[in-house]
């Protein structure tokens, strides 16, 4: 019995994956089909061939925190709907483009991965719980002083695995609101901006090393 809510996506195969239901056995697995198993949800499966799955685990505390931050409301309960063999293009996109396309062990990818995870959980809360609240609209960007504070924080922590919650905390905003307001201000998603700054710093360091190795060419740029 799971102690967290699990959102799973079939990555490959899964056609011979059967779930026990009141009327017998049901199958419908395959690439890009997904399952949601709420906390304490019990199910029985018969897997008859190889398959590849990816899982995202969410604690009740994390989901509630995300709801309260995003919608500024505190529901009495959050009832996640159990689903099997469902399809949702938004879930597939977030898994395929971000969660499966980045190395989880690489600290440089932590911001992109945490941003995608937040989007995935927000989508699940909006579409597959009893809440079904519309995502709040966000207009305008960050105040110049707030944007400067965030940018300075990024610059001074480039050597660390930045995550969306770290940056949102600097702006004293929810991750949802921060990501959208930051993009409005800079034209880039937070992970894109951080990657650009890291590349610029790498280019600067390479140039400095080149100048040190070739003092006669110092200051020369082609």
User: pLDDT, tens digit, for every residue of 141-167?
Assistant: 999 999 999 999 999 999 898 999 999
CATH number at residue 80: 2.60.120
Indicate whether 220 belongs to any domain: no
Residues 29 and 103 in one domain: yes
Its sign, for the CA torsion 168, 173, 179, 185, is negative
**How many domains does the structure of the chain reveal?**
2
Indicate whether 97 belongs to any domain: yes
Residues 155 and 175 in one domain: yes
Residues 104 and 154 in one domain: no
Identify the pLDDT of residue 222: 30
pLDDT tens, the chain, 222 aa long? 668 999 999 999 999 999 999 999 999 999 999 999 999 999 999 999 999 999 999 999 999 999 999 999 999 999 999 999 999 999 999 999 999 988 888 888 999 999 999 999 999 999 999 998 888 888 899 999 999 999 999 999 998 989 999 999 999 999 999 999 999 999 999 999 999 998 898 888 887 766 665 555 444 333
Place of tokens 């650009």: 196
Identify the pLDDT of residue 209: 66
Identify the pLDDT of residue 120: 95
Enclosing domain of residue 66? 1-133
CA dist 174 and 168 (Å) reads 6
Q: Which of residues 81, 112, 133 is at a domain's end?
A: 133
Residues 44 and 72 in one domain: yes
Residues 15 and 71 in one domain: yes
Residues 178 and 85 in one domain: no
What dihedral angle (degrees, nearest 10) is formed by the CA atoms of 97, 7, 22, 16? Answer: 40
Residues 9 and 71 in one domain: yes
CA dist 127 and 133 (Å) reads 8
- The interaxial angle of helices 144-156 and 164-171, nearest 10 deg, is 140
Indicate whether 222 belongs to any domain: no
Identify the pLDDT of residue 32: 98
| pTM of the predicted structure, to 2 decimals | 0.80
Identify the pLDDT of residue 221: 35
Residues 42 and 87 in one domain: yes
CA dist 56 and 36 (Å) reads 10
Cα→Cα distances 54→64, 88, 89, 169, Å: 23, 15, 16, 29
């Amino acid at each position: 019995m799971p102690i967290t809510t699990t959102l799973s996506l079939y990555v490959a195969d899964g056609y011979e994956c059967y779930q026990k239901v009141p009327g017998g056995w049901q199958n419908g697995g395959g690439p890009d089909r997904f399952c949601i198993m709420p906390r304490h949800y019990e199910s029985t499966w018969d897997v008859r061939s190889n398959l590849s799955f990816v899982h995202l685990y969410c604690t009740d505390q994390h989901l509630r925190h995300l709801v309260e931050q995003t919608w500024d409301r505190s529901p009495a309960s959050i009832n996640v709907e159990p689903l099997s063999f469902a399809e949702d293009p938004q879930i597939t996109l977030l898994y395929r483009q971000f969660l499966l396309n980045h190395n989880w062990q690489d600290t440089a990818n932590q911001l992109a991965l945490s941003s995608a995870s937040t989007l995935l959980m927000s989508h699940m809360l909006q579409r597959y719980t009893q809440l079904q609240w519309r995502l709040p609209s966000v207009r305008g960007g960050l105040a110049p002083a707030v944007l400067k504070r965030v940018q300075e924080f990024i610059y001074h922590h480039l050597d660390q695995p930045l995550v969306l919650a770290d940056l949102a905390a600097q702006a004293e905003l929810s991750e949802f609101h921060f990501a959208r307001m930051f993009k409005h201000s800079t034209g880039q998603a937070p992970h894109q901006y951080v990657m650009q700054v890291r590349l610029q710093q790498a280019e600067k360091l390479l140039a400095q090393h080149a100048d040190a190795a070739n003092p006669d060419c110092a200051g020369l740029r082609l």
